Structure 1
Amino acid sequence: MASLGTLGRALSHRNARIFFGASLTAWTGLWMHRIAVSWLAWELTGSAFWVGVVAFCDLAPAVVVSPIAGAIADRADRLRLTMFSQAAIGLNAALIALLVALGWMDIWLLLVLEVLGGIAASFAQPARQSLMPGLVPRADLPAAVALNSLTFNVARFIGPALAGPIIAVAGVWPAIAANAVAYLLATLTTPMLRVEAAARRGHAATASLMGETLDGIRYAARHPGLGPILLFAAVSALLLRGVQEILPPFVERAFGRGAESLAVLTAAFGVGALVSGLAVAARGRMEGTTRLAVLGVLGLALSTAGFAATGWFAFGVLCAALMGAAGSVHGISVQTLAQNASDPAMRGRVLSLWGLITRAFPALGALMLGAAGEVWGLAWPTLAAVLLSLLVVAWGMWRLPRIRDALEGPPDGAAAR
């Protein structure tokens, strides 16, 4: 009940209802797209390595683009940037669907188009997230951040549940086409948001976009809380999140199943994330959030070990749900801390670094895991990554008091100054 009350407070605002309704639509399409494209790559190549490469091409552009996109989000109209970037994602998905339907798609063309989609997504992420403090009062911001993650994970459940049967019956292109429709609908609702000018733009443009980009990186790196927690999140994502990006080889090699089971596993991630996200939202306070960010990675490591070690599908589904739950706790906590501790003029750039972490590092991890899986199989490289991640958790617990003091204080950026 506390959780429903917290989320209801956030949704009592008109802007929040429009924003999260559009998010649910777009992200449902996104998860349908991800399932379809990963299965398409597996059908085209039969290689875990190439499935990892496709994931890498979608997510890795964030390495170069996200810091620049964050600087643009701090100087440009964030509402307009959100609208244009979402439209680009939808048009790119429409092109992929058309090429697949016509039988003109090959693995190389797919890689190019996934890079283009990844670039557009790298602009959308900081623009959308930077709008959030302008959608709800500051007191409701933790609930709005939690609701943002919950929306993503509800879509993570609905999208695969729709994509699996569609792929099994009609092939991959209708699932990709659904993503195009979803993002175009989200684009059309964006102008309906009423956001004050101060929240739409972080600061007036200066002469140097690259200088502002570097300022954002230096700001986060020097911040006594943001730098360490973002580094912790990046290394954890590199070691543990790649598994979720190359599920088709696990489904077929470890469990001997097809596209429907891929959808079941992906939906299990979403269900676990939804349940744990509701629990985090029910807290309604900043105190203890840093500890949750660290312990979430511990839970993710242990559940990933169980997933990699089993060939029993039912247990794999349980581990997937636990992985989703732990990852959601970690992600909501880090994003809440970043929103709280960032100076408003730097918020877009800080959140672009978070976007870089959530997109590029899982992609690199997937590429490494896919390559290692071709040589040693998928289980042993995954278990080795789990062992390394436990060392990262130990470091996080050791640094916890200092990081906590810098992130859970007043939300005015004073710790950084």
Structure 2
Amino acid sequence: MRALLGGIADAFEDSNFRRYSVGSVVSWLSFFVQAVAVSWTAWDLTHSTRWLAIVALMDAAPNIVLMPLGGVIADRHDRFRILLISYAFAMLQAATLAGLAFAGQLTIGVLAALAFLHGTIHAFSVPAQFGLLPRFVERRRLSSAIGVSAAYTQLGIFIGPALAGWVILHFGSAIAFATNVVGYGIFFGFAALLRTPAGYEQPAASGKAVMADFLDGLRAAARHRGIAAILAVMLFGDALAAAVRQMAPAFADTALGAGVEGLSILLAGAGVGATLSALWLAHGGARRAAPSTILWAFLGFLLALVALMLAQSLIAAALAMIALGCFFEICRTGTVALLQVSVPDELRGRVMSTQFLLLRLAGALGVLAVGAAAEDWGLRAPMLCGAALAFLVWGAAFRMRERIASAFSAHCA
């Protein structure tokens, strides 16, 4: 059985990782339940793709501005404590959303303001979480734990929205917001059970200025030819994937005429595809996330996106979403796993925050561009144009795939 489960079994033999994973999985799922509920509420209040883009941008803007600071703080201080403080504020933000929704007082302006607060909080939580595993997991199991953690973290991006569609359809957005409050509560319960292994030492802070520390992380990513090339491809991928995710309410309602029921089915399709690929990646651990695998999966993602935009029925769109979820899960999880095993622990928070910042920026710009263009041209044309541009970038990266693989091999050796 252990051989059948591969890296999954190796990672879960660590008791700390088992406890951490339960709380982390639940909180990631509820996080994305809230994210979709925010998008659907914005659409329900305004029926405007422009407002969908504005709310998404309000969430992304503080992420983009403050993420460098969050990465530096994560590398200078106790990442676990930073995460707990951030999640406490996130729990209060979710409770405010739920309370206002239950009272019928949630307006588009208030929703945008709370989205801004949400983005501010997670500019500090994300870098801390990405660099947390070395604090609790034995070094010999760290590679497997990183692979499994990356798989279920990215899986939450697709399973969470699928769950959100079901919750919104049957219970409404207020319950979806309340789900996130419960998710954070479960995380705190399991976090209290974590124990730091004997012999663990917090990496020493550099002593440099904050901006100098951030630039060290940026240079580490830029100088690594493999990381730079993969991130260039994923910038376009995240721009398109974020646009699909944020514009899904409008696509289901206007392009397919299926309303919230159609939204639920589309998001469930992406969740099914992501689940299959996440299990495959988790089984192989971080070693399965090879650069060539990521590049081939990115091509599959683009083809699935084109199929989605050309779909004329809900069934065809749902099938395309299954493929899209499968391929993009491989891309996102593979990228995160590669980065985590390719950089030293003292730089991990800054490099991971740089990666998250760049992809968040790309996602925000993608949503803004598609949302604005869709007001006049509909959703299909802007998305297909974006896919064409992404294909050109993929082609350039694919031609240098051997050099990319060599760069990662050299740094992981």
Q: Does the TM-score normalized on the shorter chain lie above 0.5?
A: yes
Letter in 2 for 1:379: R
Letter in 2 for 1:185: I
Equivalents in 1 of 2:176, 2:213: separation in Å? 39
1:131 corresponds in structure 2 to 132
| Corresponding position: 1:216 with 2:241 | no
**1:88: how far off?**
1.4
2:317 corresponds in structure 1 to 316
Equivalents in 2 of 1:271, 1:398: separation in Å? 31
| Corresponding position: 1:345 with 2:346 | yes
- CA offsets per residue over residues 151-197 of structure 1, 9 Å max, x none? 23554565445433442344211110110221133134324322358
**1:121: how far off?**
1.6
Letter in 2 for 1:22: G
Equivalents in 2 of 1:45, 1:200: separation in Å? 51
CA pair 287-39 structure 1, distance change in 2 beyond 3 A: closer
1:415 corresponds in structure 2 to none
Asked if the contact 1:13/1:135 (under 8 Å) is kept, the reply is no
CA pair 394-197 structure 1, distance change in 2 beyond 3 A: farther
CA pair 196-100 structure 1, distance change in 2 beyond 3 A: same
Equivalents in 1 of 2:163, 2:411: separation in Å? 43
Asked if the contact 1:6/1:281 (under 8 Å) is kept, the reply is yes
Asked if the contact 1:142/1:281 (under 8 Å) is kept, the reply is no
Equivalents in 2 of 1:198, 1:245: separation in Å? 44
* SS across alignment from 2:195: coil
Residue correspondence of structure 1 range 173-322 to structure 2 within 5 A: 173-196=174-197, 201-204=202-205, 206-284=207-285, 286=287, 289-322=290-323
**1:343: how far off?**
1.9
Letter in 2 for 1:233: M
CA pair 264-60 structure 1, distance change in 2 beyond 3 A: farther
**1:215: how far off?**
1.7
Equivalents in 2 of 1:322, 1:200: separation in Å? 43
**1:284: how far off?**
4.3
Equivalents in 1 of 2:31, 2:97: separation in Å? 13
Letter in 2 for 1:360: L
**1:246: how far off?**
1.6
Letter in 1 for 2:186: L
Equivalents in 2 of 1:287, 1:23: separation in Å? 22
Equivalents in 1 of 2:36, 2:4: separation in Å? 30
Asked if the contact 1:232/1:396 (under 8 Å) is kept, the reply is yes
* SS across alignment from 1:386: helix
2:40 corresponds in structure 1 to 39
Instruction: Using the aligned pairs only, state the percent identity.
Output: 34
RMSD of aligned residue pairs (Cα, Å): 2.3
Letter in 1 for 2:263: L
CA pair 17-258 structure 1, distance change in 2 beyond 3 A: same
**Unpaired runs of 5+ in structure 2?**
none
Equivalents in 2 of 1:38, 1:170: separation in Å? 16
Asked if the contact 1:3/1:279 (under 8 Å) is kept, the reply is no
1:388 corresponds in structure 2 to 389
- CA offsets per residue over residues 225-251 of structure 1, 9 Å max, x none? 222222222233224442122200000
Asked if the contact 1:303/1:323 (under 8 Å) is kept, the reply is yes
* SS across alignment from 1:246: helix
Asked if the contact 2:87/2:125 (under 8 Å) is kept, the reply is yes
Equivalents in 2 of 1:363, 1:80: separation in Å? 29
Equivalents in 2 of 1:220, 1:300: separation in Å? 24
**1:136: how far off?**
3.2
197-206 or 208-217, which deviates more: 197-206
Equivalents in 2 of 1:240, 1:33: separation in Å? 18
| Corresponding position: 1:107 with 2:108 | yes
370-379 or 221-230, which deviates more: 221-230
Letter in 2 for 1:132: L
**1:357: how far off?**
3.6
**1:51: how far off?**
1.2
Letter in 1 for 2:412: P
**1:36: how far off?**
1.3
Letter in 1 for 2:345: P
CA pair 151-223 structure 1, distance change in 2 beyond 3 A: closer
Asked if the contact 2:14/2:137 (under 8 Å) is kept, the reply is yes
**1:66: how far off?**
1.5
Q: TM-score, normalised by structure 2?
A: 0.93
CA pair 293-75 structure 1, distance change in 2 beyond 3 A: same
CA pair 101-127 structure 1, distance change in 2 beyond 3 A: same
334-343 or 181-190, which deviates more: 181-190
CA pair 200-322 structure 1, distance change in 2 beyond 3 A: farther
1:6 corresponds in structure 2 to 7
**1:106: how far off?**
1.4
Residue correspondence of structure 1 range 361-372 to structure 2 within 5 A: 361-372=362-373
Q: TM-score, normalised by structure 1?
A: 0.92
Asked if the contact 2:148/2:285 (under 8 Å) is kept, the reply is no
- CA offsets per residue over residues 48-86 of structure 1, 9 Å max, x none? 121122222223422112221111111110110111111
1:52 corresponds in structure 2 to 53
Asked if the contact 1:337/1:408 (under 8 Å) is kept, the reply is no
**1:200: how far off?**
7.0
Asked if the contact 1:77/1:200 (under 8 Å) is kept, the reply is no
Letter in 2 for 1:69: G
Paired residues, number: 412
CA pair 10-56 structure 1, distance change in 2 beyond 3 A: same
CA pair 213-55 structure 1, distance change in 2 beyond 3 A: same
- CA offsets per residue over residues 87-120 of structure 1, 9 Å max, x none? 1111111111112222222112211111111121
216-225 or 129-138, which deviates more: 129-138
Equivalents in 1 of 2:136, 2:4: separation in Å? 20
Equivalents in 2 of 1:366, 1:35: separation in Å? 14
